[in-house]
Structure formats: structure tokens, C-alpha cells
Amino acid sequence: MSVFVDKARVTVKAGSGGDGAVSFHREKYVNAGGPDGGDGGKGGDIIFIADRNFSSLEDFRYKRKYFAENGENGGSRNCTGKNAEDVIIKVPEGTVIRDSLSGRIIADISGDAPVIIAHGGKGGKGNAHFATPTRQIPKFSKPGFPGEKFDITLELKLIADVGLVGFPNVGKSTLISVISAAKPKIANYHFTTLTPVLGTVKTDDGGSFVIADIPGLIEGASAGVGLGHEFLRHVERCRLIVHIVDISGVEGRNPISDFDIINEELRNFSADLAELPQIVAANKSDINDEQFEEFAKYVKSKGYDVTEISAVTTQGTAELVNKIREALSKLPPVKRYEAEPLTPEELAAMNDNREFNITIEDGVYYVEAEWLESIIRTVNLDDYSSLQYMQRVLINTGIIKKLEEMNINENDTVDIFGYRFDFIF
């Protein structure tokens, strides 16, 4: 039986750049042909992309390391080494990628655009780059830069407009099978549904919305009791919760108590879940609806809308769908998670080794530091706040002071991994 896996931990490492070559042009009847060492090729990136044909992270149970190839070294005659192939990793839509150590969100794979998680290192410069009028035979080149490496945690958070929650066996699977084309397993025992089920509901106005049947919660779910705690994360993206409550009393439970327990579990798991809009569906009214009036009065006193339905006979389900459609029309789109900045701990770890090297070639100050490459990639040169952050990094790590010691002048050019700017005191 296939196991539903919605969390996995893997290691990804991008390829390192190839080394630049040291070479000199040699040709018959040509004296002092000069340096012609080519640049190294770029290392392969680790790229994640959403694939709607995937519904779980099961594949990552068997493969936990993804390494890209290194770029080729440069060659003679100014031949640049071949760039390495990128590694493309397909994941279900809605996968959130976190740094395993800090928990920081790196990316949310929820759109069609591929996302580079680990960047391949740039190739090193060949000696052809370092020839000057006063240094015509440079006998050195630059090594390639290392690729990024991360231990990451993948978390699948289903993308659905509506999340169905409630105790086991209250009729969630029956409801989703009635109002959508989804075909979940339905039986008269608890925990029939062992994995979240997605269904698309068509509305009378020609629109649609996606609804997710979340496996049954029980008291203590947020603390790890039962099955529901495994799937509460899938409700986090939802715009609206539909809370299914059994009002028939056939299992000897009190619907008001059930209603309160499930909402408490949502609150315990996440404050954001407790604040989501909620529509309450009082199900199994075809069996017994004697408790509905009391239940409805209580639910409305808590500020929620309530609809009496019978998923088996479809009584009230059309009205419920219309209420859902109307509520969704007033709500913001499905939640997307933004990448988070480096934590203070990560910055401190990166700054433990602040070694850097500055060289001057043809009036350009080249700053090289392995730890700086990943930071410069995050800088938006068109954003003032981002540039201020970069300036603070250069000051705090001593790079600005070193440039001043090297007698840099105002408006001289500084090059950091290909990004050039004029130095301003």
C-alpha cells in the first residue's frame, strides 16, 4: 500500500565551478603569444519545480541526497569549460522548503516557475583575464567557487480553498464525494480516510473552488494523538474552514462538545487556524435532527454560520456550496509563503570565517570571499533597503576599511562576483 508522505528531509548540493586555466598561446612563427587560459564552467544548480502529477513526498523516502555535477575546468586557447547540467527535482504543488537547522522558509513551490534552491558555483577566471601592460605573462588563474549545500526539510501543505475538518466518521468523505468529482474511500468506521483528498467543486455561476478532506481529528490531535495531527498543516493554506459536525447523536457524542473540541485543537496547533473564517455544517440530519436547534443557537452565539445538511441524501448540500462560494468571493487568495531572510544564527555562522581577498586589476577592485557569494545573490541592486543591508555587511566584515587602506578613491569601481558599483565615501 502506498504511504502518504507529506514531510521529508534531504540534502542538496550544487556543483562547484570549474577552475580557470593557466595557458599560453603557442603557434609557429608567433613569439610571445600571450596568456590564453579559459574560464571554468559553472556548477549545476539544484532546482525545484512543482508537478501536479505528484501528490505526496513518497519518493524522498528512498533518495535523500541530490548532488549536481561540477563545472569543467577551463582550457587553452580561451576555451571556457562546459557548464554542468542542473538537477531538476519535482515536488507536489504546495511544497514548502525550509532550512532544517533554523526552520527558515527558503521557498514555497506553489507556482509554475522553477526555483533555484542551491546555486552552482561560478567558474574561476583563466589567466587570460589577468594580463596587464605591466604583467604580460600571468602564471596564475582562479579556482572555481564552491556550490551551495543545504540540509532542507520539505513540507507539503496542500493548496485548497476550503478545508473540511471534524471528528472521524462525521461524513466529510461523503460530502466531498457528493459536491465534487473526488472519490474517497467511504465506510462506517473511524479513520476510513487515511490521506487528505482534494476535490474540485463546480459552482452554478461557472466558477469553481478546491476543497480538501482532512483526515479526522480527535481530542489531543494538536499534541500528536490520533491521525489528524499529521495533516493539520494542510489546513494552514485554506481560505475557509468547513466544520462538519454529526448532530444525529448515534455515536453517543454531544455535537456542541465536538464542535468546541475541534476548534480547540485548531487553536492549539496554530493561532492562524483559529482565525480562519468558518462555516459549520450540521450533518446526518436525515437520521435525527432533534439536537439541531440547540446546536445552531450555540454555534451562532460564537459568531459562525451554520447549515443543516445530510450528505447521504444531499439535503442542504447545494445551499452549503452556495454559502462557500459567497464566502470565498470576499476572501483573499490562497496563502503563499514568502522566503524568509537569514536568521541571526545563520549570519553569525557565515561570518565566523570572514576571510576575504581584494585585488586591483586595471583600476577595478575585485573583492573575493566564499561566504559573500551567497549574500550578494540575495541583494536587489534596485532596492534602497537591500543596498543598505549590503553596505552594512561590507562595513561589519572590514571590507570597506580594507578598501580605504588600499587608497581607493571616490567613484573607483568595486567588483563583487560580477556586481560592479562606484565606491562612495
CATH classification code of 162-328: 3.40.50.300
The amino acid occupying position 151 is: D
pLDDT at 30: 56
CB 92 within 8 A of CB 51: yes
**C-alpha to C-alpha distance for 136 and 33, rounded to whole angstroms:** 10
DSSP codes, 279-305 = EEEEE-TTT--TTHHHHHHHHHHTT-E
All three cell numbers of 116, joined, read 533555484
**Looking at residues 338-342, what average pLDDT do you find?**
81
Domain edges within the chain: 1-156, 162-328, 343-425
pTM, to two decimals = 0.69
**C-alpha to C-alpha distance for 172 and 186, rounded to whole angstroms:** 9
pLDDT tens string 94-146: 899 999 988 899 999 998 899 999 999 989 888 888 777 776 777 777 788 88
- Three-state DSSP class for residue 351: helix
Task: Give the fold, CATH level 3, of 1-156.
Answer: Spo0b-associated Gtp-binding Protein; Chain: A, (2.70.210)
Q: Is the pLDDT of residue 267 over 90?
A: no
Q: Pick the residue with more confidence: 349 or 156?
A: 156
pLDDT tens string 309-327: 999 999 999 999 999 999 9
**C-alpha to C-alpha distance for 109 and 97, rounded to whole angstroms:** 8
- Looking at the structure, give the CATH architecture of the domain made up of residues 343-425: 2-Layer Sandwich (3.30)
